[in-house]
Amino acid sequence: MVRLLTTIAATLLAGALSLAPATAQSYPQRAVKLILPFGPGSGVDISARLVGDKLSKLWGQPVIVENRPGGDGMVSINAFISANDDHTLLMVPASTYTAHPYTREKLTYDAERDLVPIVNVTTIVIALGVPTALNVKTLKEFVELARAKPNTINVAAAAGNSDLILTSFIKTQNLPVTRVPYRDIQQAPNDLSESRIQLLMSSYATMRPHVQAGKVRILAVTSRQRVGIATDIPTVAEAGYPFLGMDSLIGMYGPRGIANNVREKIAADVKAVIDADPTVAQRLGATGQVVDIRSAKEFAAGVKEIRDQLAGIAKTLGIKPASQ
């Protein structure tokens, strides 16, 4: 009987310890899971696996990447929130959820409460491209052409932040163009190269093969500064349209209640493993990303800046935030 009670007590204690929040010194105590909103082979997936592998070696614990695509990012977000565990993290572009208040009628979560920024890892390069056949070399020339030939220009953008920004651009510049919706934005670069659409705002990586083939010209990138993988391309601010600018942050989030010192440790460890291997930046550059390590505080400030910018855009477009 004593042995049975001892066994039960030991089992309950082990269970309690597995649910207890980790301290910075002890983190991680077990395997860490990274939940992603995209499938295998995506830029975020490649980043997560590269960084996860190096963190696993540093921590002496497995880092498991779990792909949960679908539902405009909601599948992954709901899975992350349901786990409610500081060893289950979300790695996602901020654009996946910051646009939700303006693209969905109702929200099932509160981003400020449920998604706690830990560390920004990369910035994905978003670009504005045109067919080379259009014979337009700057954003200003594109605007002038659209006004000179009303209702002959088709434009498209990746869902979320890019679509909201481009829609606002069309309205504020009073451009007589047609927006083309895509269920799968991966088809748009090919349509751009064949002049079926005349402007695309999406990831630089998806357009780069067509740029290299001489069929697409990149007019500008939305980054605040020129990026190393495309140093010859101006920013939208340099092109004269700063309100098109927005950094596209990709980082890790923890659940509400995660200890601040754990957040700081994860951020410091991510920076350490990336700084230790310069090939990581090179490999991420091939996916159209640039390394952009930001601490929890810096990352949170960057996300707030995006939220504030989108709130202003929504006001311009007359869009009311979704209810919760």
Query: In this predicted structure, what is the pLDDT of residue 324?
Result: 66
For 157-213, the pLDDT digits (tens) are: 998 999 999 999 999 999 999 999 998 888 999 999 999 999 999 999 999 999 999
Which class for 154: exposed (0-12), middle (13-18), buried (19 or more C-beta within 10 A)?
Answer: middle
For 237-292, the pLDDT digits (tens) are: 999 999 999 989 999 999 999 999 999 999 999 999 999 999 998 899 888 899 99
Radius of gyration in angstroms for the set of CA atoms belonging to the chain, rounded to a whole number: 22
- Which of 6-10, 62-66, 103-107 has the highest average model confidence (pLDDT)? 62-66
pTM confidence score: 0.86
Report whether pLDDT(63) > 50: yes
- Cα dist. 138→100, 212, 310 in Å? 31, 18, 25
Give the span between the Cα atoms of 108 and 287, in whole angstroms: 32
Domains of the chain in sequence order: 27-123+249-317 (3.40.190.150), 126-244 (3.40.190.10)
Half-sphere exposure of 291 (CA within 13 A, CB side): 18
Residue of 179, 185, 181, 188 lying closest to 153 (CA atoms): 179
Report whether pLDDT(1) > 70: no
Is pLDDT larger for residue 159 or for residue 120?
120
Q: How confident is the model at residue 228 (pLDDT cuts 50, 70, 90)?
A: confident
